[in-house]
Amino acid sequence: MMQKKKLNIAIVCDAVSKVLCGSFVSTLRVAELLSKRGHKVILISSKHPKERNIAYHNKVKIYRFSPGVLIPGSEKKMYFSFARSGKIKKILKKEKIDIVHFMIPTPLSLATVKAARALNLKVVAHSHTQPENLEPYVPLFRKTASKIFYKYLINTYNKADIIICPSKFAEQLIKLRGVQPETKVISNGVNLSKFKKIRNPHKHAEKYGFSRDTKKIMFVGRLDPEKNVNLILNSIPHICKSYGNFEICIIGKGRLKEQLEKTAKKIKGGHKIKFLGFVSDEELIRAYNFCDIFVLPSFVELEGMVVLEAMACGKPILISNAENSASRYFVNDNGFLFDPNSPKQLAEKCLKILKNKKLMKKMGEKSYKDAKGYNIDKCISKLEEVYYNLKK
């Protein structure tokens, strides 16, 4: 069989070098894996004041554009750029780009799409954005804001040749609102060669001040309103009523970090919580392994990469049954769903697993088995297929 020609791919994502959320993590992983397969990949991103105009991330070249506009509440890390399409066009020509792939619908993505069309290049969009994320920040106008953002989102997606959706749930959201291009469901996937079971994980727990003998409940993600981390804290007094041998591990950063830490000091059992902040992938893998239950109380998720990571490490999962979350569909005899507004119900589900070693083991094994179906290598192969089909 004749080997296909390697492609030159431009991936667009603001703030890609400042890891804040799943879409940025996914962008970097996709770029790295495509590059390892021999494709030439460049990243087009916005520029933080302290960053260089051109840089590299694991041999992937990054073009950064300024001036950028600071996004409120991003801990001074996220800037949106308003680059001119003419400048981007020069880069696309210089790098001999075949395909443009934008991850989030920002002005930078729109400018790159305009440049791509001027060069007759094919454009791929990625559904990494969910307008419902905005609702906690504009409570008085949440429905109106969501409608306006959806209109903008669909108009932007309609400029692409095809849209990649990380889940069927994500695909349904935009199809219901009249998106025109073809859609393709491709999971963000999980790197099974990295996120896996490790031996003697409890020795790593002690590094962070956890006891080797306690059962550990874990959350990973941004500490922002839509992640609903307060629910975990409020469930602790309910768990303490009938079970005391547990600790809580919270990994991630965000605008609510200080508030959550203050809350932890006030509630019964709050001393059982440890906030680890942002950690490297290597430390994260160890944490998944030394914890016993993974909890995601989010109101909003288009897939939930952290759920897949926990599953790949063989953990039972507790996922909120929120109507705007795709993560609930990962629950398949490997955990429980719970009401995102009921700390008592979350506590009850935790206790069912904490008090039953056989159930904990059975659910963990099911998670491990199910995660095999989301191998990121297969996801990248599907993405390659999309690119090659567009180039025909």
Segment 225-244, tens digit of pLDDT: 999 999 999 999 999 999 99
Residue 21 banded pLDDT, cuts 50, 70, 90: low
User: What distance in Å separates the CA atoms of residue 316 and residue 362, rounded to the nearest whole number?
Assistant: 8
User: What distance in Å separates the CA atoms of residue 190 and residue 176, rounded to the nearest whole number?
Assistant: 28
CB-based contacts of 131: which residues, under 8 Å, 6+ apart? 145, 146, 149, 150, 153
Residue 166 banded pLDDT, cuts 50, 70, 90: very high
Q: What is the pLDDT of residue 347?
A: 98
Q: What is the pLDDT of residue 20?
A: 57
Q: What is the pLDDT of residue 134?
A: 67
- Residue 31 above 80 pLDDT? yes
Could you tell me if 355 and 332 are in contact, meaning their C-beta atoms sit under 8 angstroms apart?
no
Question: Rounded to whole angstroms, what are the CA distances from 108 to 44, 105, 169?
Answer: 8, 8, 26
Could you tell me if 285 and 192 are in contact, meaning their C-beta atoms sit under 8 angstroms apart?
no
Residue 137 banded pLDDT, cuts 50, 70, 90: low
Equal fold, 8-189+375-391 vs 202-374: yes
Angle among Cα 170, 171, 176 to the nearest 5 degrees reads 105
pTM: 0.92
User: What distance in Å separates the CA atoms of residue 120 and residue 223, rounded to the nearest whole number?
Assistant: 41
202-374, what's its fold?
Rossmann fold (3.40.50)
pLDDT mean over 183-188: 98
Q: What is the pLDDT of residue 139?
A: 58
Q: For the chain, how many residues are written?
A: 392
In terms of phi and psi (left: phi > 0; alpha: psi -120 to 50; beta: otherwise), the region of 298 is beta
CA 75 to chain centre: 18
Rg of the chain (C-alpha set): 21
Beta bridge partners of 185: 165
Q: What is the pLDDT of residue 298?
A: 96
Higher local confidence (pLDDT), 4 or 308: 308
Q: What is the pLDDT of residue 160?
A: 97
**Backbone φ and ψ of 183, nearest 5°:** -115, 150
Higher local confidence (pLDDT), 53 or 139: 53
Tens of pLDDT, residue by residue over 245-304, are 999 999 998 889 999 999 999 999 999 999 999 898 899 999 999 999 999 999 999 999
Residue 386 banded pLDDT, cuts 50, 70, 90: very high
Range with the poorest average pLDDT among 44-58, 136-150, 173-187, 237-251:
136-150
Query: Is CATH 3.40.50.2000 the classification given to domain 8-189+375-391?
Result: yes
**Backbone φ and ψ of 140, nearest 5°:** -75, -25
Q: What is the pLDDT of residue 131?
A: 78
pLDDT mean over 300-318: 97
Give the rounded percent of residues in the chain with a pLDDT score beyond 90: 73
Q: What is the pLDDT of residue 116?
A: 98
Task: Please report the beta strands in 224-316, taking only residues with DSSP state E, as ranges in sequence order.
Answer: 246-251, 273-277, 293-296, 300-301
Q: Could you give the strand order of the β-sheet that contains 40-46, starting from the edge strand earlier in sequence?
A: 54-57, 60-65, 40-46, 8-12, 99-102, 122-126, 162-165, 182-185
Range with the poorest average pLDDT among 18-32, 253-267, 277-291, 353-367:
18-32
Higher local confidence (pLDDT), 263 or 15: 263
Give the rounded percent of residues in the chain with a pLDDT score beyond 70: 92
- Residue 164 above 70 pLDDT? yes
Q: How many CB atoms lie within 10 A of CB 358?
A: 7
Residue 132 banded pLDDT, cuts 50, 70, 90: confident
CB-based contacts of 97: which residues, under 8 Å, 6+ apart? 8, 9, 10, 42, 91, 116, 119, 121
- Residue 151 above 70 pLDDT? yes
Task: Please report the beta strands in 110-151, taking only residues with DSSP state E, as ranges in sequence order.
Answer: 122-126
- Residue 18 above 70 pLDDT? no
Domain segments of the chain as ranges? 8-189+375-391, 202-374
- Mean pLDDT, the chain, as a whole number? 91
User: What distance in Å separates the CA atoms of residue 15 and residue 64, rounded to the nearest whole number?
Assistant: 9
Higher local confidence (pLDDT), 46 or 32: 32
Task: Please report the beta strands in 36-127, taking only residues with DSSP state E, as ranges in sequence order.
Answer: 40-46, 54-57, 60-65, 68-70, 79-81, 99-102, 122-126
Residue 12, CB-side half-sphere exposure with 13 Å CA sphere = 32
